[in-house]
Amino acid sequence: MTKRPLEGLRVADFSWFGAGPIAAQTLCTFGAEVVRVESETKLDSLRVVQPFALNEDGTFKTGYNVSGYFNNFNAGKLGIQLNLNTEKGQELGYRIVEKSDIFLTNFTPRVVEKWNLRYEQLAAVNPRIIAAYAPMQGMEGPHRDFLGFGAVLTPVTGISHMSGFPTRPPIGVGTNYPDYVVNPGHTITAVLAALRYRNRTGKGQCVELPQLESVVNVLGSAVPEYLANGDSPTRGGNRSPVAAPHGAFRCADDESSTNSPDRWIAIACKTDAQWRALCEAFGHPEAAADDRFNTFDARKANEDALDALVSSWTAGRRAEDVMELLQSRGVAAGVVQNAEDILDKDPHIRARQYYTYLDHPETGRAAYDGPAFRLSDTPGYHTGPAPLLGEHTMEVCERVIGLEMDEIADLLAEGVLM
């Protein structure tokens, strides 16, 4: 296969849950050898979070290796079980760092200090190490030991305040969005910048990525708007200040769906011409001339009536038919797809072969997210499924750390290795 751009680099992945492992996953996909350090004494709880693989009788599989959540974000990594609560475990951790180019963790500073993984300690054993720390609120400051996940970051950073309908409480974005996209993306960017610096100077460095500060970047114009005029943007539902109609409109149920028959279409009209095209597409050109809707300002002033009218036109139609009808007229429209659509039905995703199917020893064949971007000459790809808990302990100890078999046996007996 084509050589990948990060081949020859090794990542000591001491992270857990989402943001850290997803960042390391991307580095792995593009060629880095990632050693995922875990332990039952501080188990990555993502290993026991649904969805779980199913048995033939429809019951859930059990154990630490059957979470689709965990497996999707750890494909191709080497897994070692190492008890960092022991002095010998920390010494072995140093030896992994010594043989690595990148160290990555998103544990709180309290845990980092407990395990003696501060940057100055790692740099003492490997001055060229790029050590990336991504705790929720930074390595220093009054809230440095606060912990949380994407569901905490969305309200803390103000995203939840702007998510939902104006007459209802904040609802957030429905998923731990910061964990999947924002923080891993920023972490990878910072690590690659540090790698470039090291390639030029030979020097490693510390990368600090407070997830709180990383996530406020996605607030868009909210903070500038407050600075400019004192307004703090709040929840607007599906509506937009620059489009009308703008929203998700109910369509006919899809009875062929296995789990979610309700269907919706997202529609956005930014110009009067698009609104007229929408009315003509649905066979109601007279609505475009209605005084309540014939200009953008009129449509915004009568948005409840506008949404009700568009909903009445879409209610009995297939979402896919509405999408094709409106797109052919130059109106922005897209089916509100669910997971089944994305994985099994979307012709574009299928044609691009985004999902990679891998065989896992306990969960069987399953779809994994493919690379988020494509390089024409050095594309990324998965080399294998996620590791079983401690699956590569022996390999890492022998090949990476350089231990002899009798040493490994002693450490297993002492509970340093598992």
Domains and CATH numbers, the chain: 10-218+353-414 (3.40.50.10540), 246-348 (3.30.1540.10)
pLDDT given at position 325: 98
Check if the beta carbon of residue 394 is closer than 8 Å to that of residue 385.
no
- What does the pLDDT profile of the chain (418 residues) look like in tens digits? 789 999 999 999 999 999 999 999 999 999 999 999 999 988 999 999 999 999 999 999 999 999 999 999 999 999 999 999 999 999 999 999 999 999 999 999 999 999 999 999 999 999 999 999 999 999 999 999 998 888 899 999 999 999 999 999 998 888 888 999 899 999 999 999 999 999 999 999 999 999 999 999 888 889 999 999 999 989 999 999 999 999 999 999 988 777 778 999 999 999 999 999 999 999 999 999 999 999 999 999 999 999 999 999 999 999 999 999 999 999 999 999 999 899 998 999 999 999 999 999 999 999 999 999 999 999 999 999 999 999 999 999 999 999 999 999 999 999 999 8
pLDDT given at position 177: 85
pLDDT given at position 292: 97
Q: Report helix, strand or coil for 12.
A: strand
Q: How far apart are CA 10 and CA 103, in angstroms?
A: 9
Check if the beta carbon of residue 149 is closer than 8 Å to that of residue 176.
yes
Q: How far apart are the first and last CA of the chain?
A: 34
* pTM to 2 decimal places: 0.93
CA atoms within 13 A on the CB side of 197: 14
CA atoms within 13 A on the CB side of 373: 9
Check if the beta carbon of residue 251 is closer than 8 Å to that of residue 265.
yes
Q: Residue 88: enclosing H or E segment and its boundaries?
A: helix 87-98
pLDDT given at position 411: 96
Check if the beta carbon of residue 43 is closer than 8 Å to that of residue 16.
no
pLDDT given at position 238: 94
Check if the beta carbon of residue 316 is closer than 8 Å to that of residue 252.
yes
246-271 CB burial, b ≥16 within 10 A, e <16: bbbbbbbebeeeeeeeebbbbbbbee
Whether the bond between 285 and the residue before it is cis, its omega within 30 degrees of 0, is no
∠342-175-226 over CA atoms, to 5°? 120
∠24-28-31 over CA atoms, to 5°? 145
Q: Going by DSSP bridges, is the β-strand pair 78-81/102-105 parallel, antiparallel, or unpaired?
A: unpaired
Query: DSSP secondary-structure letter at 86?
Result: S
Q: How far apart are CA 376 and CA 380, in angstroms?
A: 10
Q: How far apart are CA 379 and CA 361, in angstroms?
A: 26
Q: Going by DSSP bridges, is the β-strand pair 246-250/264-268 parallel, antiparallel, or unpaired?
A: antiparallel
Q: How far apart are CA 179 and CA 21, in angstroms?
A: 10
Using the structure block, give the residue that is written with the tokens 């100890």. 397
Residues classed as catalytic? 179
Q: At what angle do helices 87-98 and 405-414 cross, to 10 degrees?
A: 140
pLDDT given at position 148: 85
All residues at 6 or more sequence positions from 99 whose CB lies less than 8 Å from its CB, including other chains: 10, 400, 401
